[in-house]
Structure 1
Amino acid sequence: MIDTSRRTALKVLGGSALALGAGSQTVAAQQQQTVRARAVHASPDAPAVDVYIDGDAAVEGLEFQDVSPYLSVPAGTYQVAIAPAGAGEDQAVIDQEVSLEKGNYSLAAIGQVSDGSIQPLVTRTPVIHGQAEQALAVAQAVHAAPDAPPVDVTAVVEDEQLNRQLRMLPPELVMGIPESQLRFTDEDQAELTLIDGLSFGNASDPLPVPATEYTLQIRAATPSNDGDVVASVPVALDGGVSYTAFASGYLEPPQEIVDELGNRDFELFFGTTE
């Protein structure tokens, strides 16, 4: 099992917007069709990268396990290329057409350069609005660790008041969680199953959860969601914010990659959307 004592730092990046221009559309039309997209570097054997959109450098020098600020563009179809930083677009390891409708997107580079499995993973992130905004956050996970098996994600509730509520009331009255996804630890803390059996190259469905403090646990997938914990991270989720947790790196980093690129251990890093 991996030593998780070093896995307690929460990286939260992203959120600012950079306008790239929208032709001659009116302001109202732009607002109706705006896409926000960010780049995510989750390929463990790739160096820092540059991201090109329709031939223009949109993000430069994005490091492993980093998330770029959001880029605001009109909805439409774009040619997205990802190349080693400074190498030029003609050295792209990913070059693919991507169609984006109105909304918020993460464009993640996952897989490995060394075996040709590197690929883009495009995920859409909803944002909570209305009366639920202050009370709920959105949690989502992306499995981008190429040597990791399918995983479960559980979350231990650290708030005493919420723990008391969960012990006293049927789960559906608190947050709509099925009883099968809620259990209690030996310390009488609620433990929620957020993700069940997520495999490499996939993103979970976004899940509304109470805005509070948790300890997130990444586990080897089992039928009862109680496998060995391979990473544990404390997080404080704010109301009205969507959190995407990217599980990346290697359970057992190849020595030649460590020698060339440095630490590539399995770790969680986060992008936020408001």
Structure 2
Amino acid sequence: MHDDFFYPLDSDYHASVDGQSFVRILHAAPGAPAVDVYANNVLIVRNLTYRQFTQYLPLFPGRYRIVVFPAGSRTSPVIDATLSIPAGTIYTAAAIGTLPNLRLLPIADPCIARGFGQSYVRFVHLSPNTPAVDIATSTGVQLFRNVSYTQVTDYIPVQPGLYTLEARPAGTNQVVLTVPNVRIAANRILSVYAIGLSGGQPSLQVLIPLDGNAYLPVCRFTR
């Protein structure tokens, strides 16, 4: 293993080698400062702020020591973890928790077979003080049930369209968060990340990025 295992994405990144993997990093730790991320002592991400995702970074499979510092510093790391990446995989590595108890949660973005025009959605619970929740549409269709902190659901198929999503304490009809105007286009694979704090600042909210398994070459054989 060598220190220059990460390299920038460019216009030719789709010409990936067999077995290559991809990782993006999410800052989902409410109240934590912007951070710099080092992998095997190499700076790979600079000044990542709360709510931000990096782009997917191509890398070779292996074990990596991931150390996260407050931006501009090389002392007092807020995370020091080992990340194991198998060949031919896609991951989102989320910095979660609240200071001083932060950790790195690896979340696989698995390749899934899908039909033309079909879209998929899953839910990822990363709000540290929010109890288990159900996720439903405003029309009463329950999508995910009893999802606890750090849990990641399976993807479910959804019809393209415009949705209003609601988060409710598990088993209740009380709505603690409403997310209007969620537009799901055809041929998308999305994750709904719940981040922030219930009753605190930064407040509870969601991020809905396009996942790499929708377009990265790792999954080219499942389309």
TM-score, normalised on structure 1? 0.67
Query: Residue 51 of structure 2 aligns with which residue?
Result: 65
Are 1:42 and 2:34 counterparts?
A: no
* Correspondent of 2:166 among 202, 208, 217: 217
Structure 1 runs not aligned, ≥5 long: 1-18, 157-184, 186-190, 254-262
Query: Residue 176 of structure 1 aligns with which residue?
Result: none
Q: Write the mapping of 1:199-218 to structure 2, written as runs, cut at 5 A.
A: 199-218=148-167
Are 1:151 and 2:133 counterparts?
A: yes
Pairwise CA distance, 1:155:
2.4
| Number of aligned residue pairs | 201
Distance 1:50 1:271 in 2: 21
| Residue pair 1:37, 1:71 contacting (<8 A) in 2 also | yes
Distance 1:216 1:235 in 2: 7
Are 1:241 and 2:188 counterparts?
A: yes
Distance 2:36 2:95 in 1: 11
Distance 1:20 1:109 in 2: 19
Are 1:96 and 2:81 counterparts?
A: yes
Query: Residue 137 of structure 1 aligns with which residue?
Result: 119
Query: Residue 229 of structure 1 aligns with which residue?
Result: 175
Distance 1:78 1:241 in 2: 30
Distance 2:107 2:206 in 1: 17
Deviations 1:11-58 (A, max 9, x none): xxxxxxxx9349xxxx9x953211111101111121111111111111
* Correspondent of 1:119 among 103, 115, 119: 103
**Moved runs in structure 1, 4+ residues, more than 6 A?**
none
Distance 2:186 2:89 in 1: 19
Q: Which structure carries more relative contact order (alpha carbon 8 Å, separation 6+)?
A: 1
| Residue pair 1:140, 1:245 contacting (<8 A) in 2 also | yes
- Work out which of the two has the higher radius of gyration on C-alpha atoms and give 1 or 2: 1
Structure 2 runs not aligned, ≥5 long: 215-223
* Correspondent of 1:77 among 60, 63, 69: 63
Query: Residue 196 of structure 1 aligns with which residue?
Result: 145
One-letter amino acid of the structure 1 residue matched with residue 204 of structure 2? F
Are 1:270 and 2:216 counterparts?
A: no
Distance 2:163 2:123 in 1: 15
Pairwise CA distance, 1:241:
2.0
One-letter amino acid of the structure 2 residue matched with residue 73 of structure 1? L
Distance 2:116 2:40 in 1: 36
Pairwise CA distance, 1:128:
4.7
Pairwise CA distance, 1:198:
0.7
CA RMSD, aligned part only? 2.3
Distance 2:44 2:116 in 1: 31
3-state SS of paired residue (2:203): coil
